[in-house]
Amino acid sequence: MAGSGNTSKVSSIVAAFCIVVYIGAIAFGAARIIINMGERRNLAEKEFFDLSDRASSSAVFLGFMSDAYQDTLKDFINASYALLGVIITGSDGEFAFERQPGSGIVWAGNSPRFKIGAGIPSEPFYMPLRIDGQRNVTIQAIYSYIDYGYFQKVLMYTLLAVLSALVIAFITLLVELNLKNKNKTVSYRVKAPDESYVSTESKPARDESGLRTPEPISPGKSHQGIYTPRSNIGWESNTHDRLASELHRCLSSGQDLTFLAIELSESPAAYRQFTEEAVSFFSTRDLIFEKGEKGISVILPGSDLEEGIKKANGFRDRIAARLNEPFEVRSDLRIGLSSSSERLIEADRLMLEAFSALEKALKDKESHVIAFKSDPEKYRKFIRQSGNNAYA
């Protein structure tokens, strides 16, 4: 249906959009974090150089490692954005300063050591200090690679973008399911005013070879759409013309064609499900047509009689496996078929052969798939005398 196709197209566009949003959000978040890490290192390096200058100059006015000197360094560390801890080593020993207790320094007895872990560089910044009266004074500092506050903010924005795309996809899915349910309801309830079926219970005439002559299909019928609302496959009245077209095409390309007539012994409530299984199995909705009230016809271009028989048996196995509730016994499904077999044959004749094979299958208690096998010599005689063909 047109609506279903448009819905699928919209769903594909929405799905593509959501995928782009997912990838874009994750890539943007990762890029922002990487950029922030580089900016943070530059900031930490600048703060370390400022701290080194402060440590050298303050020693002149306040005295190296006096209380006022230490308070100055502590104030600098507390106001720092990136630095976590500082260690100053001199002839009087080692002194450590950190922003928060335990954030960057651990103690081994009286000796401070930098913590090594996630987000902390293994190699701290290092610089010697020039302080009058002091020898071999050095200052070291560490910082965290990651600004966890900024990281959480980026992560939150990324998750919001992903969740927004998921909400859009979920809403689109609900709308599509709703539209499909509405279309399905319309398909089951609406019946075309000119819909007609060919009864297989009547007693049609037979030709000289004893084969059933197919019921004539009323010409000139116009239908709303290609497929019927009852089964969503082709109209029965279109079977002959499409078969004639496919026969001509196969003859031109030197291919065989097989025509299947399939009928159920009883009309099931799951006819629509049955036809959808046929479409799924034969993979050609436009070559499957209604046949009466409880059957279908299938055109198989490029298939000879042997391939057609395999297809027929395979379809019966599929129905028995998939629809075992409405079709409890495999014999409920009967199939008759015939092939062009390199004959210059008309659509009427091929339909006659398949329908006659189906009639035999409906009556036979043992064989549920019966193929009409043509005899070339008898067929040529039939063409000359306008009728004489039999089951071989």
Could you tell me where the beta strands, DSSP code E, fall in the chain? 83-90, 93-98, 105-108, 111-114, 125-129, 137-143, 257-264, 288-291, 295-301, 333-339, 369-372
β partners of residue 227: 234
Choosing from 148, 171, 197, the residue where a domain stops is: 148
Residues 118 and 248 in one domain: no
Contact between 235 and 221 (Cβ < 8 Å): yes
Token pair recorded at residue 42 = 């530059």
pLDDT at 282: 94
Distance of CA 105 to CAs 77, 100, 296, 343, Å? Answer: 13, 9, 83, 95
β partners of residue 338: 259, 372
Choosing from 148, 180, 203, the residue where a domain stops is: 148
pLDDT at 350: 94
pLDDT at 206: 44
pLDDT at 306: 93
Amino acid making up residue 28: F
Tell me which residue range forms the domain holding 112.
Answer: 2-148
State the Cα–Cα distance between residues 120 and 142, nearest whole angstrom. 7
Count of domains forming the chain? 2
Q: CATH code at 245?
A: 3.30.70.270
Choosing from 148, 163, 197, the residue where a domain stops is: 148
237 burial (CB, 10 Å; 0-12 / 13-18 / 19+) is buried
**Residue 217, in any domain of the structure:** no
Q: CATH code at 134?
A: 3.30.450
- The 8-class DSSP code of residue 234 comes to B
Q: What is the pLDDT of residues 303-326, one digit of tens each?
A: 999 999 999 999 998 888 887 665
Residues 7 and 141 in one domain: yes
Q: What is the dihedral of CA 39, 42, 48, 53, to 10 degrees?
A: -130
Note down pLDDT in tens along the chain; length 392 residues.
Answer: 445 555 567 778 888 888 888 898 899 888 888 888 888 888 888 888 898 888 888 887 888 888 888 888 888 888 888 888 888 888 777 888 888 777 778 887 778 888 776 556 656 888 888 787 777 889 888 887 777 778 778 888 888 888 888 888 888 888 878 777 765 443 333 333 333 323 333 333 444 444 544 444 444 444 568 899 999 999 999 999 999 999 999 999 989 999 999 998 766 667 888 899 999 999 989 999 999 888 999 999 999 999 999 999 999 988 888 876 655 554 578 999 999 987 888 999 999 999 999 999 888 878 889 999 876 666 666 666 654 443 33
Contact between 142 and 83 (Cβ < 8 Å): yes
Question: Can you tell me which residue has the tokens 């209604």?
Answer: 290
**Residue 206, in any domain of the structure:** no
**Residue 165, in any domain of the structure:** no
State the Cα–Cα distance between residues 94 and 4, nearest whole angstrom. 77
State the Cα–Cα distance between residues 41 and 322, nearest whole angstrom. 65
pTM of the predicted protein model: 0.43
**Residue 14, in any domain of the structure:** yes
